Every structure is written in structure tokens, then in C-alpha cells.
């Protein structure tokens, strides 16, 4: 994300702007920063490292020009950042599974379908990949579902 600010002065350094940021909580400053020259806001460190698993961060961006007597924007720009997180593990439904099959079933015979639910509502955190420990390719045994 890019912060932008305009300055009506016609020449530098009076119209040259520098950005600062501060978080409304310490987590925001820990995980995001603004480039003082370009105003670009970036992730500072992996959000997965946030032990509190915050889903909301807020930065206040300030802008100051480089005039001999610097002037600053009268109000900081509020930047709200929402983070989607993988909050739920996939769960098998209708377990345990049990099936009785005749010994005459051939290799490609489908014997059972398992179902998995993941309560997350945002992709990719609600996508589930199934894998099986079997000699037969998992694709022959399982299908993939999304919720």
C-alpha cells in the first residue's frame, strides 16, 4: 500500500515530503512500517510470528515537508489493516470410518469417501488437501471438497 500526500509549495525542499508511522498499538509497529521517502507501507516481519494472532492492526501516518521550518500535515492518515488467519483445523466428519468389502473388488473400486470440514471462511485457509498412506494413488480413494 502506498501513502500519498500533496504539498502546495512549488519547489523543494518546501514540497518534499517525508513520512512517519506509529501504531495505535505496539503490534502494528512491530509488523508494519512506512518508507519515509516513498510512503509505501510494507510488512516488517512475518505475521505468523504474532503470538497474539491479531487480525487487526492500525497505523497512523504522518507527513512533514523538508522546509527550513518544516510543516507537517495537520492530521495523520489512519491506516487500518485486516489480516485473515488460518484459525481452524480441518476436521473429519462422520468418523470413525469402517467399511466391509468383498475380496473380489478390483484395484480401482471405490470403497469409501471421507469428508472434511474446515470452519475458516477465507481461501486458502478453508481449502483441504487429503493424502492417504496407501499403495493406490490417493486420487483414486479421495476427492477434494471446499467449503
Residue 6 near residue 63, CB atoms below 8 Å: no
Q: Locate cell 487487526: which residue?
A: 56
Query: Of 7-36, which residues contact Ca ion (CB under 5 A)?
Result: 7, 9, 14
Residue span binding Ca ion (CB under 5 A) among the ranges 43-51, 77-85, 107-115, 120-128: 120-128
Question: Rounded to the nearest 5°, which phi and psi values hold at 21?
Answer: -135, 150
DSSP codes of every residue in 16-32: -EEEEEEESSHHHHHHE
| Binding region for Ca ion (CB under 5 A) out of 40-48, 98-106, 109-117, 125-133 | 125-133
Q: Is 84 in the site for Ca ion (CB under 5 A)?
A: no
Q: Which of 86, 109, 113, 137 is the binder for Ca ion (CB under 5 A)?
A: 86
Which residues lie closer than 8 Å to 33 by C-beta, 6 or more apart? 21, 41, 42, 44
Does 120 bind Ca ion (CB under 5 A)? Our answer is yes
Report, in Å, the least distance between residue 59 CB and Ca ion: 23
Contact residue for Ca ion among 84, 88, 109, 113 (CB under 5 A): 88
Amino acid at each position: 500500500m502506498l501513502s500519498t500526500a500533496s504539498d502546495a509549495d512549488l519547489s523543494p525542499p518546501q514540497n518534499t515530503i517525508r513520512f512517519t508511522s506509529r501504531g495505535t498499538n505496539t503490534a502494528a509497529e512491530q509488523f508494519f512500517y512506512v518508507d519515509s521517502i516513498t510512503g509505501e507501507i510494507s510488512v516488517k516481519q512475518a505475521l505468523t510470528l504474532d503470538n497474539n494472532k491479531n487480525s487487526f492492526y492500525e497505523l497512523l501516518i504522518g507527513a512533514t515537508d523538508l522546509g527550513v521550518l518544516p510543516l507537517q500535515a495537520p492530521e495523520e492518515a489512519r491506516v487500518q489493516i485486516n489480516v485473515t488467519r488460518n484459525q481452524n483445523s480441518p476436521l473429519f466428519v462422520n468418523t470413525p470410518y469402517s467399511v466391509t468389502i468383498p475380496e473380489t473388488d478390483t484395484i480401482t473400486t471405490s470403497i469409501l469417501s471421507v469428508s472434511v470440514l474446515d470452519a475458516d471462511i477465507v481461501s486458502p485457509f478453508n481449502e483441504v488437501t487429503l493424502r492417504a498412506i496407501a499403495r493406490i494413488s490417493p486420487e483414486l480413494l479421495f476427492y477434494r471438497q471446499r467449503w
